[in-house]
Amino acid sequence: MTTLTATPTTAAAAARRARRRGRLAPWVYLAPALVLFTLFLALPIAYSVYLSFRTVKVSGLGLGAGARTEVWAGFDNYARALSDPDFLASVARVGLYGLVLVPTMLGLALLLALLLDARRTRAKGFSRVSIFLPYAVPAVIASLLWGFLYLPRVSPFFYVFDRLGWDAPELLSSQWVLFAIANIGLWGGVGFNMIVIYTALKAIPTELYEAARLDGCSEVAIAWRIKIPVVMPSLILTFLFSMIATLQVFAEPMTLRPLTNTISTTWSPLMKVYRDAFTRDDIYSAAATSVVIALATFVLSFGFLRLVQRRAFSQENA
Amino acid sequence: MTTTTSPALSVPVPRRADRAVRPARTPRERPSLWGTLILLVGAAYCLFPVLWVVMASTKSASELFSTFTLAPSTHLPENVVDLSQYRGGIYWRWMANTALYAGIGGLASVVVSAMAGFGLAKFQFRGKKAVFNVILAGVLVPGVVLAIPQYLLLAQVGLTNTYWSVLLPSIISPYGIYLARIYAAASVPDDVLEAARTDGAREGRIFTSIAVPMMVPGLVTIFLFQFVAIWNNFMLPYIMLGDDRLFPITVGLSGLLNQGASQPAMYTSVITGALLSILPLAALFLTLQRFWQVDLAAGAVKA
């Protein structure tokens, strides 16, 4: 750069400094977030993608320092991941788990939120706090509590069934364990989603249904025709976040494992990733599997958002 | 918005309670039996495991599997002592670690989110939309999928199995930034910032003494979100940490439960530990209830 330009007047210099400061300021605010985002989100994703295309080539007997070298693997890891029966079984399992859990949880959350918002129900404060309380319990602890409650020697349900002379279902048997885990997810998630929907319900201006009420519309009709359509964006987002959380189920089955032998080390896709990476030391295959899971999550999320016409985020992109 | 009540007080009381005093009260206003019943059943379902763990933690190891499951006993003090003496009180270390991870991580996350949210809401600059969209996409990234590459990367700089390995990845929260942006846009008026700039206030000062105080209710919610997320996190510390003196409570108790499989006497400690670990967060929830009003769609916090 040349230094021959005339010295600007001090006022112009100040104005330019201010302008430069103005241009720089947002980046200063964003810097910590961007640095952390790069280091702990973008870089790990890129590294995962890189590893997913690599593999270790063993030459000779695999002994010595130079015997194991990392080479490009093309799509081998993906081909292996996608054709691995363990992985496919875990995907099917978690798909069923999601189909059981998400609609049940959101249906109940919506029902409870509407009841909290209804004018004729009682015991609202108590119910709201009680139902929200499980959100304060980590998934590991929740699984631990329910895990004990599923044991025939501890569970009061078995006690009742026993007294009645009925055969109680073995909740941790391979037939029921999926529902047992879904119940833990339901218990932990219903309150949070209820609060989200309830907050949206409270934001509805009362005029919107006061007229309907004066016309003799029933509370149920008001809920169906007015309240539910208005809180639809919240329902969409709770659905989206629940779906993402479902795909990642890990803590619950991991915690229940010591209590039963029906949960394999590849029960959920993430458990398989964990096993491949840390038990089998095959980080390449684990990376490919996690990239597949991440892509599936993205496709599902964006597909879903597109399906609902991006109503949820449309106001944000102004 | 139609609410006319003081916003700060609007929460614990059902908002439309004021309608009870309206003259237009019809006979239809009698309490709904079924609606109330469903709410109470929901509450019972949610309280049941908590009730069970309170009862179970009062039992001795032999009573745990022999007496009726909801019948209380008298052994809580011994159980707490046993738990506290287990491996030189490592349980309390786990609790302290959890408080440290969640507390420091949550605070750092709020600072980072507030700055980024403010920057995105209150400045016009090239690339703003791109930055925001990237962060929005970050909300959808399944966080747990990141844990293994994060482990491998941190291993390369020798940070695994340290406090940092759990703290650092917990600080970035795309959802926190998203919330902070909306909160800054809604609660910090442009002309106040403009006036401060005209008066020659420095950017840093504008942020700390004007923007932050206006954003406080939203920031508390972001803090709570992140605090709970870190407190509840299992996979990240499970992968990152090998030394049990660094464990948070979730990883520690999960390990204890594993031991219980071979020595059932451990079960009472596990149960007592579970109960004690729930208490602080439950207390936090009850005292800060009014900040738990989350409108995901509007992203706003109605506190």
- pLDDT digit string, tens, across residues A298-316: 888 888 888 876 554 444 4
Is position B14 within any domain?
no
My answer on whether B133 and B250 are in the same domain is: yes
From chain B, the residues in CB contact with A108 under 8 A are 42
Domain parsing of chain A, residue ranges: 11-72, 84-317
My answer on whether B62 and B203 are in the same domain is: no
Find all residues with CB under 8 Å of B72, minimum gap 6, and list them. B54, B55, B58, B59
My answer on whether B165 and B244 are in the same domain is: yes
From chain B, the residues in CB contact with A34 under 8 A are 116, 131
My answer on whether B100 and B40 are in the same domain is: no
My answer on whether B156 and B262 are in the same domain is: yes
| Structure tokens belonging to residue B172 | 């970035």
pLDDT above 60 (res A6): no
A4 φ, ψ to 5°? Answer: -85, -5
- pLDDT category at B131 given cuts 50, 70, 90 is very high
B112-120 mean pLDDT? 95
Taking one residue from A and the other from B, the number of pairs with CB-CB distance under 8 angstroms is: 316
Distance CA A261, CA A90 (A): 16
My answer on whether B99 and B161 are in the same domain is: yes
The minimum CA-CA distance between B142 and chain A, rounded to whole Å, is 6
- pLDDT category at B18 given cuts 50, 70, 90 is very low
Burial B209-248 (b: 16+ CB within 10 A, else e): ebbbebbebbbbbbbbbbbbbbbbbbbbbbbbbeeeebbb
Q: Specify the 3-state DSSP secondary structure of A122.
A: coil
Check B140 against A144: CB less than 8 A apart: no
Chain B residue with minimum CA distance to A38: B172
- pLDDT category at A2 given cuts 50, 70, 90 is very low
Q: Identify from B68, B144, B197 which residue to disrupt to test chain A contact, counting A C-beta atoms within 10 A and taking the largest count.
A: B144
Handedness of CA A58, A62, A64, A65 (dihedral sign): positive
Q: Specify the 3-state DSSP secondary structure of A72.
A: strand
Interface membership of A229 toward B (CB under 8 Å)? no
Q: Is the pTM higher than 0.95? A: no
Is position B82 within any domain?
no
| Structure tokens belonging to residue A98 | 């999601």
Is position B24 within any domain?
no
B24-39 mean pLDDT? 75
Check A274 against B32: CB less than 8 A apart: no
Contact A252, A184 (CB under 8 A): yes
- pLDDT category at A63 given cuts 50, 70, 90 is low
Query: When comparing pLDDT for A9 and B151, which is higher?
Result: B151
Interface membership of A130 toward B (CB under 8 Å)? yes
My answer on whether B54 and B192 are in the same domain is: no
Among B119, B150, B289, beta carbon nearest to A44:
B150
From chain B, the residues in CB contact with A197 under 8 A are none
For A84-317, CATH gives 1.10.3720.10
Among A41, A142, A203, beta carbon nearest to B141:
A41
From chain A, the residues in CB contact with B28 under 8 A are 120
Interface membership of A216 toward B (CB under 8 Å)? no
A2 φ, ψ to 5°? Answer: -85, 150
Contact A198, A113 (CB under 8 A): yes
My answer on whether B213 and B239 are in the same domain is: yes
Is position B15 within any domain?
no
Q: How far is CA B266 from CA A125, A253, B107, B224, B249, in A?
A: 37, 20, 35, 32, 16
Alpha carbon B251 to its chain's center: 17
- Over chain B, what is the mean pLDDT? 83
Is position B239 within any domain?
yes
The minimum CA-CA distance between A4 and chain B, rounded to whole Å, is 30
Q: Which residues 202-241 of chain B have a CB within 8 Å of chain A? A: 203, 207, 228, 231-235, 238-239
Residue ranges of E strands in chain A: 54-58, 68-72
Q: Which residues 158-187 of chain A have a CB within 8 Å of chain B? A: 159, 187
Q: Which residues 240-279 of chain B have a CB within 8 Å of chain A? A: 249-251, 253-254, 257-258, 260-261, 267, 270-271, 274, 277-278
| Structure tokens belonging to residue B245 | 């003196």
ipTM of the complex: 0.84
Among A196, A258, A317, beta carbon nearest to B258:
A258
Q: How far is CA B3 from CA A205, A227, B215, B221, B298, in A?
A: 8, 17, 20, 21, 17
Question: Tens of pLDDT along A127-142?
Answer: 999 999 999 899 999 9
My answer on whether B110 and B53 are in the same domain is: no
Burial A131-160 (b: 16+ CB within 10 A, else e): bbbbbbbbbbbbbbbbbbbbbeebbeebbe
Question: Tens of pLDDT along A233-267?
Answer: 889 889 988 988 888 899 999 999 988 889 999 99
- pLDDT category at A65 given cuts 50, 70, 90 is low
CA angle B192, B190, B225 (to 5 degrees): 100
Number of domains in chain B: 2
Distance CA A43, CA B19 (A): 54
Distance CA B195, CA B96 (A): 45
From chain A, the residues in CB contact with B17 under 8 A are none
Check A140 against B234: CB less than 8 A apart: yes
Is position B81 within any domain?
no
Among A156, A244, A293, beta carbon nearest to B69:
A156
Give the structural domain span for B50.
31-74
Is position B303 within any domain?
no
Q: Specify the 3-state DSSP secondary structure of A58.
A: strand
CA dihedral A36, A40, A44, A46 (to 10 degrees): -20
My answer on whether B131 and B234 are in the same domain is: yes
Chain B residue with minimum CA distance to A216: B28
Question: Tens of pLDDT along B32-84?
Answer: 889 999 999 999 999 999 999 999 999 888 888 777 777 888 888 998 998 99
